[in-house]
Structure 1
Amino acid sequence: MNKNIVAYGEIMMRLEVPDNLLLRQAENLKYSFTGTGVNITGLLAQFGYNSSLISAVPDNSIGSSAIGAIRRLGIHSDLIIKNNDNLGMYFLEKGFGNRPSNVTYTNRQHSSFNTTDISKYDLIQSLKGVDILHICGITLAMNQLTRDNIMKLVKAAKEKNIKVVFDCNFRASLWGENGNQRAKPFYETILSQADIVIMSEKDAIQTLGLSTNHQTKEGQLEELLPIVAQKFNINKIAGTIRTVQDSTHNTIKGYLYSNENMYYSKIYDVNILDRIGTGDAYTCGIIHGELSSMAPQDIVSFSTASCVLAHTISGDTPLFDTDDIIKIINNEKNDIER
C-alpha cells in the first residue's frame, strides 16, 4: 500500500482484572500495553500500512517492554523516545449483565508522554512522507503541555499537506469542571485544521454548543453535522450509534457525512467479548476507506464491520485484516475455518 500513518498518543499499561471479578476481589492482574494511538497504528499495520507512533515512554525496563509490545503489533517505534520515568496505567474491571465495565486511570498526568515537550521530537523527521496524522481528543484533555504539543504538531502537518484525522473522544472526567466549555476553543482550533473527524451528536451539542429539536440521533446528526462540516471545512465526519442492551450485548450502526450527503451502515447485533478499542477499529476503517478511495457507502459499511469485529477480540488493539472485515460485511458465518 506504501501509505504512511502516524499517530500522536500515549502508550499506557492496561491492568485487567480476570474472570469478570471486581478489583477488590482479584489477587492477580493481566497487563498489556495500549492507548488510542497504539490501537490505530496497530490495526492499520495489520491492514498493510506503514504505521508509526509519536510517543514517549519511561527510560527504564517498563519503557523497553512497552516498545517491544508495540513492535510485535507491527508498529514502527523509531519516533518513540525515552524520557522521564512514569507510564500511565488503567485498571479494567469487565462488566457483566447489568453491571457495566469500569476503567480507573492512574499516574496519567505524570506519565512520560504527558510531560514531554514536542521539541524533544524531531518533527521534520517524524512527518517525512506521512499521508495521515491521527490526533485524539483524550490527549487534548490531558494538560496544557499536550494541548500545545498537538497545536504545533497539527500546524507542522498542515504545512506539509498531511491529512489530519481528529477523533473528538471527549472525556468529561479528564476535562474536569465545566469541561465542555474548557474544551470548546481547543476543539474548534483542531476542527478548523482537520480533514476527517470522528464526532457524535453529543460532541456537536455539548462541546460545540449547537442545538437541535430532533429527538432521534439520526435526526440530530443529519441537522448538526452539515453545520459543523461547513463551518470548519471538514471533508468527512463519521461515528457510530450504539444502543446498549447490557454489558455484553449492543446494537451498532455506523454513519458518515461526506459531500453534503449522509450514509448509514446496516444495524449490527453485537455480542461483546471486549468493548475497549472498538471505536478505534471504526476509525481505522474510515482511514482505510479514505486512502483506498472507497465510495462513501462502502467506507461506512467497511468501518462499521471493522468496529463489530473488534468486539470479538480480547485486548484493546484489534488484530485482523481487511479480508476478515469483508467476511463480516458478507455475513459469512463458519463453525471452523480449515
Structure 2
Amino acid sequence: MHNTSQPPTRIVCFGEPLLRLSPPGCELPLQSPCFNVHVGGAEANVAASLAILGHHSVMVSTLPDNMLGRACAGELRKHGVDTGGILQAEGRMGVYYLSPGAMHRPSEVLYDRADSAFARIPADAYDWPSLLAGVQWLHLSGINLALGKTTSQAALAAVHAARAAGVSISFDCNYRSKLWGERAAHAPAVLREIVSHADLLFGNDRDIALMLGMAFPQADAIARFRAAADDAFAAWPHLQRMAATERLHRNVDDQDLFGLMATRERVLTTATHALSNVVDRIGGGDAFAAGLLHGLFRGMPDEAMLDFAITAACLKHSIPGDVNLLREADMLAFLAQGGFEVRR
C-alpha cells in the first residue's frame, strides 16, 4: 500500500500545548468537585499522533518553567514527541475547560489562555533557521494567529523561514472566534498571509469564505467545498492540497462524518461513516490532519491517504482526551473492515 522502508519524516509542529479540564462523564462543571485532566492543543495533538505513527515529530513551543509545564512536556515525550524545541519561560500554563455535551445539549469550551508563557514570549525567541535544520515539514494552525500579535508574528516568522529553507508547510485554519475576540477584524488578512505560503491547507468553505470575503451558496457540501477549493487554488499559487471533514449531527452522541480533499486536478471524497455513542470528539480534526500527513509522508495514493485520514478521525471519537493514541495497524484494520471481534 505504501513505502515503510523510507526514513521517518522530521516535522516541526509549532503551537501551544494546553491542559484540558473537564468534569467527569457528561456532568456540568463543578457538578462534582473534580476535573479530569488531559494534555492537548491543536499542534500538540498532531505532533503526538505523528510520533505514534512512527515519524520524528518535534514540538516547538514555550511552556512555563514550573511543575505544570514540565508535566505537559513529559506527557508529550511519553508519546514519542521530541520536546527539544520547547522553551521554558516565566508565565502561566494555558488551560481550557470543556463541558461535555450529551444528547441535544452541545459541548462548550471556555478558554483560559491569556498571558500564558507561550503568549508572552517574544516572537524572536525562536531561532527558526536552527529549529528547521534537517526538517521536511512545518505544521501550525490559525490558533497561533488568534492568541495575539506576538504569537502571530512568531508564526509568520516560522513560515517565512520554512519557505526560505525549502521546508513544506501545512496549515490548519482552526478559526476560533472566542480566541480572536476584538481582533477578529484582522483575522482574514493574517490568515491569508500564512496560507499564501502553505503547500497543504486544512480548511473548508467557511474558512475560504472568511479569508477571501466570498460566499459559497451551493446547497450540497461537496459542491461548496469544490467551489471554495477552486477559489483557494486561484488565490494561492503555492497551494497544492486542501482537505477537510464534513459532519452531520443527529445529536451530540450520533453523527455522520466524511472527508474531502482537493488537489489542483480533482476533488475526492470518502464514504460517510456513522459515529454512534461518541466518546470524545475533541481532537478529531487534529487526528484527521495527522492521518493525512502520515499518508503523504508514506507516499500513499491520494484516495488511500484520504481514507486513512478519515479513519483516524473516526477512531479518535472512541478515545478519551485530545490525542488519537491509535497506531497505523489500528487504522488499517478499520479500513480492512475487520469487524468488532476481539483481536487476540
State TM-score, norm by structure 1.
Answer: 0.96
Question: Contact 2:48–2:76 (CA<8 Å) still a contact in 1?
Answer: yes
Q: CA deviation at 1:177?
A: 4.7
Aligned length in residues: 336
Relative to structure 1, is the Cα distance of residues 65 and 178 closer, same or farther in structure 2, using a 3 angstrom cutoff? closer
Match of 1:182 among 171, 186, 200: 186
How large is the Cα RMSD of the aligned pairs?
Answer: 1.3
**Mapping of 1:209-220 within 5 angstroms?**
209-220=213-224
Task: Give the aligned residue type for 2:232.
Answer: V
Q: CA deviation at 1:252?
A: 0.5
Match of 2:203 among 185, 199, 221: 199
Instruction: Confirm whether residue 36 of structure 1 aligns to residue 37 of structure 2.
Output: no
Consecutive unaligned residues of structure 2, counting only runs of 5 or more, are 1-6
Q: CA deviation at 1:178?
A: 7.4
Aligned to 2:340: 334
CA distance in 1, matches of 2:173, 2:60: 19
Alpha-carbon displacement from aligned partner over 1:280-316 (angstroms, at most 9, x marks no partner): 0100111112212222111111111110011111110
Alpha-carbon displacement from aligned partner over 1:68-89 (angstroms, at most 9, x marks no partner): 1111111111011110120110
SS at match of 2:342: coil
Match of 2:318 among 301, 312, 318: 312
**Mapping of 1:256-275 within 5 angstroms?**
256-271=261-276, 272-275=278-281
SS at match of 1:92: strand
Q: CA deviation at 1:119?
A: 2.1
**Mapping of 1:1-338 within 5 angstroms?**
1-106=7-112, 108-177=113-182, 179=184, 181-233=185-237, 234-271=239-276, 272-338=278-344
Consecutive unaligned residues of structure 1, counting only runs of 5 or more, are none
CA distance in 2, matches of 1:27, 1:133: 40
Question: Contact 2:137–2:167 (CA<8 Å) still a contact in 1?
Answer: yes
CA distance in 2, matches of 1:178, 1:139: 13
Alpha-carbon displacement from aligned partner over 1:71-108 (angstroms, at most 9, x marks no partner): 111111101111012011011111110011111111x1
Task: Give the aligned residue type for 2:275.
Answer: V
SS at match of 1:246: coil
Task: Give the aligned residue type for 1:227.
Answer: D
Question: Contact 1:236–1:256 (CA<8 Å) still a contact in 2?
Answer: yes
SS at match of 2:82: coil
Alpha-carbon displacement from aligned partner over 1:200-243 (angstroms, at most 9, x marks no partner): 11111233212234112111111121110122021000001101
SS at match of 1:110: coil
CA distance in 2, matches of 1:250, 1:104: 23
CA distance in 1, matches of 2:284, 2:130: 31
- Residue identity over aligned pairs, in percent, reads 28
Dislocated runs of 4+, deviation >4 Å = none
State TM-score, norm by structure 2.
Answer: 0.95
